[in-house]
Amino acid sequence: MNHDNSHNSDSLDRRIDLFLAGFNEQEPAGEEVDIARIKSLTMAKIRREAEMQRMARRHALRRRIITWVSAAAAVALVVGVAVWALRRPASAIDISESTESVLADLGYNTLVVPAGKRSEITLSDGTVIIANSRTIVKYPTEFRGNERRVYVNGEVYCKVAKNPFCPFIVESDGFDVKVLGTTFNIANTSDSTASVVLVEGAIELTTVCDNTLKLRPNDIVDMANGDITSMRKVNPVEYTSWIHGMLYFHGVSLDSVLSKINDHYDINVICDPELAVEKIYGKLELKDDPVEVIRSIRAIVPMEVDRRGRDFILRPVEGV
């Protein structure tokens, strides 16, 4: 491109030289004219103008190149950020605070279980999660990085696929559970209390209050507002029977039973204090209709039931 411009300028210079040479051969009518000086000045002006035109073209080309490079850099930056976001470990993502749309862009799924229902999912590593009623689980389509992290709000039963090189972490409100491969139950209830029951294997529990505990099979840890309140041995079946649609009770107060019923069906059962202390033994089937469940409880503890929409009021039978 510059070579063609130089050729055109040289041709123009030659034409001007020929013109001035012809002019020089003519006899001036008056005073002697300094043809050499006119020629020199004219050529200098022409060359200056030609050089200015070449510089203008170079500047325009440079601006176009800068624009192209800037655009390419911007595209590369966007692509790089997207690739980094997809490949970065789950620990770099605040799962609990991120919106569903942001998590979806990062390859995450969100499971929301309706009231009175249960749902089972199998993760990309083979881990099985059974989610109880009114539970939210956020998990990646495919695990990346050096850990496997999911978020849970509600109650889940986890049977984690073993991988000693990639720990499985359940992030919940107020605590994290870290495992390599084991079976456990997490319950995070609406009143800011929570519990973790270990069925088999081993897990490490860390709370937001910087408390860390290692659990052994049959251990249960109770928490309130992210702080550990107790740790004891239990029969895990009593805490995991819900995965089979049953609740087992061994001397549990009616008030505690109704608390589970309220959470499971998203209803409001109000119990008279005289009935609340009654002890419940046996098993209770979690049927689809909460009315049927309350009828089953009524068969164990005689009571009067008054229903007002989502509210159920339980009171002692008069004269009994």
Q: Examine the pLDDT at 14 and tell me if it is beyond 60.
A: no
Q: For residue range 147-162, list pLDDT tens digits in order.
A: 999 999 999 999 999 9
Q: Do residue 225 and residue 283 come from a single domain?
A: no
The CATH number that applies at residue 258 is: 3.55.50.30
- What gap in Å lies between CA 149 and CA 128, rounded to an integer? 14
Count of domains observed in the chain: 3
Q: Which domain holds residue 260?
A: 245-315
Tokens of 197: 């029951």
Q: Do residue 71 and residue 187 come from a single domain?
A: no
Q: For residue range 169-212, list pLDDT tens digits in order.
A: 999 988 999 998 899 999 987 778 899 999 999 999 999 988 89
Q: Do residue 64 and residue 132 come from a single domain?
A: no
Least reliable range by pLDDT among 61-65, 183-187, 262-266, 293-297:
61-65
Residue after which a domain boundary falls, among 193, 218, 239? 239
Structure letter (DSSP) for residue 241: G
The CATH number that applies at residue 214 is: 2.60.120.1440
Query: In terms of pLDDT, which residue wins out, 60 or 213?
Result: 213
Q: Examine the pLDDT at 275 and tell me if it is beyond 60.
A: yes
Query: In terms of pLDDT, which residue wins out, 93 or 173?
Result: 173
Q: Do residue 211 and residue 278 come from a single domain?
A: no
Q: Examine the pLDDT at 1 and tell me if it is beyond 70.
A: no
Q: Examine the pLDDT at 18 and tell me if it is beyond 80.
A: no
- What gap in Å lies between CA 251 and CA 145, rounded to an integer? 46
- Average pLDDT, integer, range 61-83: 56
Question: pLDDT band for position 32 (50/70/90)?
Answer: low
Q: Do residue 232 and residue 131 come from a single domain?
A: yes
On whether residue 320 sits in a domain, the answer given is no
Residue after which a domain boundary falls, among 239, 274, 293? 239
Q: Do residue 268 and residue 194 come from a single domain?
A: no
pLDDT of residue 170: 96
Amino acid occupying residue 157: Y
Q: Do residue 256 and residue 135 come from a single domain?
A: no
The alpha carbon of residue 24 and the mean position of all alpha carbons in its chain are separated, in whole angstroms, by 86
Q: Do residue 227 and residue 250 come from a single domain?
A: no
Q: Do residue 189 and residue 288 come from a single domain?
A: no
- Average pLDDT, integer, range 266-283: 92
Q: Examine the pLDDT at 83 and tell me if it is beyond 60.
A: no
On whether residue 97 sits in a domain, the answer given is no
Residue after which a domain boundary falls, among 239, 255, 274? 239
On whether residue 203 sits in a domain, the answer given is yes
On whether residue 155 sits in a domain, the answer given is yes
Q: Examine the pLDDT at 143 and tell me if it is beyond 90.
A: yes
Q: Do residue 232 and residue 122 come from a single domain?
A: yes
Residue 175 CB: number of other CB atoms within 10 A?
A: 24
Tokens of 267: 């209803």
Angle between helices 2-24 and 35-87 (to 10 degrees): 170
Q: Is 93 helix (H, G, I), strand (E, B) or coil?
A: coil
pLDDT of residue 13: 55
Q: Do residue 250 and residue 212 come from a single domain?
A: no
- What gap in Å lies between CA 185 and CA 77, rounded to an integer? 43
pLDDT of residue 160: 97
Q: Do residue 148 and residue 260 come from a single domain?
A: no
On whether residue 98 sits in a domain, the answer given is no
pTM exceeds 0.75: no
Q: Where does residue 191 fall: left (phi above 0), alpha (psi -120 to 50 degrees), or beta otherwise?
A: alpha
On whether residue 94 sits in a domain, the answer given is no
Q: How many percent of the chain have pLDDT more than 90?
A: 54
pLDDT of residue 232: 96
On whether residue 278 sits in a domain, the answer given is yes
Amino acid occupying residue 294: I
On whether residue 92 sits in a domain, the answer given is no
Query: In terms of pLDDT, which residue wins out, 42 or 80?
Result: 42
